[in-house]
Structure 1
């Protein structure tokens, strides 16, 4: 089976629900008591698109200002970025614009960008309209999604969009990207590397997950609530 590996970095202000969104998708759970991320947390998941397996390495970064100087080492060589904001907090929407500037300055290769408005379950307190967010996403060459980590709405579409976009890179010069493409045998071992030949017909998802918490580049004990 052909496998393509890509790296996703999740960026946004503290409290917008980045970790809740990732854990909801990959861990199939939600906790209202998730602690703020320290440094970054690392997750993996796999999505099958027709005969292509897309393996996503998801780096969930800390939103606290004191960790912002560390973030460049996490989004280096990223293939996709999730820019998450809280639809009830205009300041969190404004903050993603600074992340875009950082990405443009530090990531040289093509980047799949998704702007994600979280907490649509709080629609009665909405301060950022869908049209406003869509317009901004379009202006930076991204795609806009609205989700609710609490109610498990829209998150699957975000990750599938990224996997599908990476799988559509047929004809790209992969030597100029950090994507890894390889064939695996019946035992799941790497058989050979090759150029990607992808289609977007059909969809099955086999989301498996693991988590490692990273702080100052040192591994910590895995913790589902990091």
Structure 2
């Protein structure tokens, strides 16, 4: 979905994420040039232990499930819990593969009621057709930049930390 959003293209030959993938991009958003960093983590159970590392210091999170796979939908509470342990991180949930209508296992009503219970945004999307992609990522960015603005400057992780100058040792007695 990230590639689909950033490039407005879809490729049948993109492999699923294994572990985590990192994307950094600069683009114009609501009239301002913005830098974003996106960590795309695998949802499979064997990668769960490393995923919480990528949630730390996040301004927002997106959980993507496969509309054609009930088990992926039923895993959403786990992911919401994992993200929530890191703090009040806004979450957007996306039911992907909206283009596969005949294989759908999750209805819009079911997804909407579920997400309302968790107080998270929900979108049906299709990386293939671009359906809902722009709206989902716009919501994600709105939430991320709103959260960033609400945090004190000291709480913002920039990736660069100043090292204090070494102070000469004081001697009190000879």
TM range (shorter): 0.7 to 0.9
Aligned residues: 157
| Aligned mates of 1:91, 1:157 — CA distance in 2 | 25
Q: Which one has the largest radius of gyration?
A: 2
- 1:195-206 paired onto structure 2 within 5 Å: none
What residue ranges of structure 1 are gaps of 5+ in the alignment?
1-20, 181-226
1:101 aligns with 2:81: yes
Tell me how far 1:179 sits from its aligned partner: 6.2
The two structures, once aligned, show a CA RMSD in angstroms of 2.1
| Aligned mates of 1:63, 1:118 — CA distance in 2 | 13
Bigger RCO (CA 8 Å, 6+ sep): 1
The answer to whether the 8 Å contact 1:54/1:167 transfers is no
Per residue, is there more helix in 1 or in 2?
2
- 1:166-185 paired onto structure 2 within 5 Å: 166-168=144-146, 172-175=150-153, 177-178=155-156
Q: Tell me the TM-score normalised to structure 2 length.
A: 0.80
Partner residue in 2 for 1:158: 136
The answer to whether the 8 Å contact 2:60/2:143 transfers is no
1:145 aligns with 2:132: no
| Aligned mates of 1:135, 1:160 — CA distance in 2 | 22
Q: Secondary structure at the match of 1:33?
A: coil
Tell me how far 1:171 sits from its aligned partner: 6.7
Partner residue in 1 for 2:30: 49
Partner residue in 2 for 1:128: 106
Change (3 A) 1:55 1:64: same
Change (3 A) 1:100 1:165: closer
Q: Tell me the TM-score normalised to structure 1 length.
A: 0.63
| Aligned mates of 2:148, 2:45 — CA distance in 1 | 39
Tell me how far 1:154 sits from its aligned partner: 1.1
| Aligned mates of 2:109, 2:135 — CA distance in 1 | 19
